[in-house]
Amino acid sequence: MKTLLVMRHAKSDWGAAFGDDHERPLAQRGVKAARRMGRFLADEGAAPQLVLSSTAVRALTTAELAAEAGDWGCPIITTRDLYASDAESVIERVGETEAGVERLLIAGHEPTWS
């Protein structure tokens, strides 16, 4: 059975210096949480085979930190389609995933995930 894991980016740092919303980084609390989530998924035997991440700094950093901490060993592909997108765009991107991928994680944003 195919599994889709949906991950919202970890806590971002509104107080940091950044040019636009796309460049907003993670807060220190978010860095720790992303690492914990990566280890948790690995410990539960749920590490993804592939990650699709928004190109936004906070989402990509969340995915990278989680993958590193959980030693997922999978590729992370970035796509602007997961930033400020709608549900249809997300579904389309997920549908384009290779047939052999059994566990896919998408890293992105609210309110898209709702």
Could you tell me the pLDDT band of residue 77, with boundaries at 50, 70 and 90?
very high
| pTM for the model | 0.92
Q: Where are the domains of the chain?
A: 3-108
Count helices and strands (H / E) in the chain. Answer: 3, 4
pLDDT-derived band at 42, boundaries 50, 70, 90: very high
Look at residue 29 and tell me whether its pLDDT is greater than 90.
yes
pLDDT at 9: 95
pLDDT in tens, 84-96: 888 888 888 899 9
Instruction: State the CATH architecture for 3-108.
Output: 3-Layer(aba) Sandwich (3.40)
Residue 55, SS3? coil
